[in-house]
Amino acid sequence: MASASTQTIDTLAKSSGERRAETEISDSKWAIGFAGGIDYRVYRDFDDKVRGFPVVTYEGEYIHVFGSGVDLKLPSVGPVTFRLRGKYISEGYESGDSSFLRGMSDRDSSFWVGGVATWRSELVRLSAEVLTDAMNNSKGSRAKLQIDHRFSAGAFGFTPRLVAEWVDKNYVDYYYGVAAGEVIGGRQRYQGDSTVNTEAGIRMDWLLAINHSVFFDLGATRMGGAIKDSPLVEKDTQYGVGFGYFYRF
């Protein structure tokens, strides 16, 4: 799963546009702010870091820019919207991030491209996303199904979510596998297989004043069996905390 440096930021950036649409507080299409967070990674002895970045978002008729991603809007069919999506996802590691990873080759982040379909009703929003690694670092593919709904209470909003994400064997082998040249005592050879990760989380937003919003996000991701079985992994659940502030022009 993506680290907090992009997943949380993208979630908060997209939610900034959703918050504007639901409250109709401004006709502006631009917002600037700051978002960051930390993921407690499942790698052994991993050096977790708090990360934060300035963020610019734009919501236009055909384009939506959010954090490290961009959507091209396609024609809708009834209650279902379609978009082409590209986004940079920060994940992987450097060998210096953990004493257990010394001697491993670095695993690089990638820019992923694909599409997303979203169905909305008064009770729930359901989205399906399929992406492939455009930089061929992992040569992998991933597919995500998410269900969520925003509940509002005055200036506050609460959006619980459930997510299931399938990742293919190339993805798992790249980020959690151990190649023959990386084997040492206590770190055996490991080849990944496809698996499904599941997440539960909640995002909270607060409209401080006109055009000023604060966001907070909590999530827990339980890794699939092919990731939990990796010798690089010591925990089966990854926890994430994110936060953000946006000003909409």
- Overall average pLDDT of the 94-108 stretch: 94
Does the pLDDT at position 114 exceed 80?
Answer: yes
- Please report whether residue 2 resides in a domain: no
Percent of the chain surpassing pLDDT 90 = 73
Q: How confident is the model at residue 27 (pLDDT cuts 50, 70, 90)?
A: low
The number of folded domains in the chain is 1
- Please report whether residue 80 resides in a domain: yes
- Overall average pLDDT of the 208-235 stretch: 95
- Please report whether residue 24 resides in a domain: no
Structural domain range at position 79: 68-238
- Please report whether residue 38 resides in a domain: no
pLDDT of residue 53: 85
- Please report whether residue 129 resides in a domain: yes
Report yes or no on whether pTM surpasses 0.75: yes
221 neighbors 183 (Cβ within 8 angstroms): no
Does the pLDDT at position 232 exceed 50?
Answer: yes
pLDDT of residue 47: 86
Average pLDDT, the chain: 89
pLDDT of residue 67: 81
- Please report whether residue 249 resides in a domain: no
Does the pLDDT at position 24 exceed 70?
Answer: no
- Please report whether residue 169 resides in a domain: yes
- Please report whether residue 61 resides in a domain: no
Q: How confident is the model at residue 13 (pLDDT cuts 50, 70, 90)?
A: low
pLDDT in tens, 64-85: 998 889 999 999 999 999 999 9
